[in-house]
Amino acid sequence: MTTALRRLRNYIDGEFRDAADGRTTEVVNPATGEAYATAPLSGPADVDAAMAAAEAAFPVWRDLIPAERQKVLLKIADRFEERAEELIAAESENCGKPIALVRSEEIPPMVDQIRFFAGAARMLEGRAAGEYMDGFTSIIRREPVGVCAQVAPWNYPMMMAVWKFAPALAAGNTVVLKPSDTTPASTVLIADIIGSVLDELGHPRGVFNVVCGDRETGRLMVEHKVPAMASITGSVRAGMQVAESASKDLKRVHLELGGKAPVVVFEDTDIAKAVEDIATAGYFNAGQDCTAATRVLVQESIHDEFVAALAKAASETKTGAIDDEDVLYGPLNNANQLAQVKGFIERLPAHAKIEAGGEQVGDKGYFFAPTVVSGLKQDDEIVQNEVFGPVITVQSFTDEKQAVEWANGVEYALASSVWTKDHARAMRLSKALDFGCVWINTHIPLVAEMPHGGFKKSGYGKDLSAYGFDDYTRIKHVMTSLDG
């Protein structure tokens, strides 16, 4: 006897719809490795319909005064709180995430971020009006860019959806959002929440649309003639493809891509405290985080002590079922990701040493043990490339100059951290590290008021903060003659 799979659907112009050609793909729970739902595999007709709906709704949504858009976002935030348990259940099934951690670590910041952007809608920035030429007054208008094609990743499906739709809607844009093909469930639920709020407050249904599908669906969205902007959170390869596709008609592009965060630990740090925090920041969400603390550079005088303490912390870190409140993280998201993480371990050079973990856990699902690898060199594959799994690497450096050289010696530049009691050193490193974020004696906290985004192959554009809001606006200069 087989269990019927739940049927997920696109959300286009206020209606839930199957793909126009009826194609679907199975959605797998990574904790069990078994399918639990089907989702549309959307094609050109579905993308056309969603873009048409967003385009039709744009003039009305754009012309609302900011206070009206704020009301909508505040109501959406309230509804997220009211339906939190549904969101938690959907995300846990989506990703295999521990229920308790989704409840404590994802719902509150998501709600806060929506409310932040609700306020940002009413705080448009621009230079003061003035006379910069005799007889003329200049003013600056900040306007929405138009329809936004947005593609969210599978590591934080709900939260990354919020990071995309909240600033876009607050600024007056309309949205067509595609979740990852492996994690559509929570995004479809978000569509139901936002759609109900738009209906309740009498706003156009096409303001927010969700189209499920695979990479081809995403390509169709980015290359479509309607969107003025494409935003993606994903791999470097995906980001490059989006940038290339968008360049054909000069769409604005917003990219948040991979990371390989250096964690620079000096000999004067509190080792026990640093290890505790770094292990949490490295293994949280199974290391499937672009900012994860997975590349540790530790001063040689404390290297052995640090590695021993980190290996012990790894052995005490649990992964497991979604209803186990003692686990820090659940499975890797999909079979391909599990194979990728295994591949990094299998290809380790002879000089590397696995201090803890290094193997799959259990006989079902995609669980991988908390892992520590030492003895690595700067040009090793596992140091240079993003693993995106619960694997922390350790290198030993001699002095500050070498630490900075190695920290910056990768193609990614999203996040980093420095661990030291020396304030001057911390200030020097915060300047020298070529990363979009530098944490000092901590790693991974984010707040709605501060920007998140990187340099180099980690992409460009900012999420969160007023800078993230500004990315979804355009600037217009208006000059008027004072000669009546």
Neighbouring C-beta atoms of residue 61, cutoff 10 Å = 23
CATH of range 262-448; options 3.40.30.10, 2.60.40.10, 3.40.309.10, 3.40.50.2300: 3.40.309.10
- Report the predicted TM-score, pTM, of the whole model to 2 decimal places: 0.96
- What CA–CA distance (Å, rounded) separates 398 from 329? 33
Averaged pLDDT for residues 8-28: 98
Q: Where along the chain do its domains lie?
A: 6-257+458-477, 262-448
Q: Where are the beta strands (DSSP E) in 236-381?
A: 252-256, 262-265, 295-299, 353-356, 360-361, 367-368, 371-374
Averaged pLDDT for residues 312-341: 97
- What positions carry a catalytic annotation? 256, 290
Residue 401 has pLDDT above 60, yes or no: yes
Averaged pLDDT for residues 90-109: 97
Tell me if 6-257+458-477 shares its fold with 262-448: no
Reported for 437-445, long-range contacts at CB under 8 A and 24+ positions apart, including other chains, are 437/291, 439/415, 441/269, 441/274, 441/417, 442/277, 442/417, 443/261, 443/263, 443/277, 443/278, 443/281, 443/291, 443/293, 443/415, 443/417, 444/280, 444/281, 444/284, 444/289, 444/291, 444/292, 444/293, 444/415
Helix or strand or coil: residue 404? Answer: helix
- 313's tokens: 């912390």
Residue 480's pLDDT band (cuts 50, 70, 90):
very high
Averaged pLDDT for residues 163-183: 98
61-72 pLDDT, tens digit per residue, is: 999 999 999 999
Residue 2 has pLDDT above 80, yes or no: no
Residue 21 has pLDDT above 50, yes or no: yes
Amino acid occupying residue 91: E
Q: Specify burial of residue 331 (Cβ count, 10 A radius: 0-12, 13-18, 19+).
A: buried
- What CA–CA distance (Å, rounded) separates 272 from 294? 17
* Cα angle value 393/395/401 (rounded, 5°): 135
List residues bridging with 28 in a β-sheet: 35
Residue 1's pLDDT band (cuts 50, 70, 90):
very low
421-446 pLDDT, tens digit per residue, is: 999 999 999 999 999 999 999 999 99
Residue 136's pLDDT band (cuts 50, 70, 90):
very high
- What CA–CA distance (Å, rounded) separates 10 from 235? 24
Smallest CA-to-CA distance from 10 within 153, 206, 231, 160 is with: 206
User: What local confidence, expressed as pLDDT, does residue 126 receive?
Assistant: 85
Could you tell me which CATH class the domain 6-257+458-477 is placed in?
alpha beta
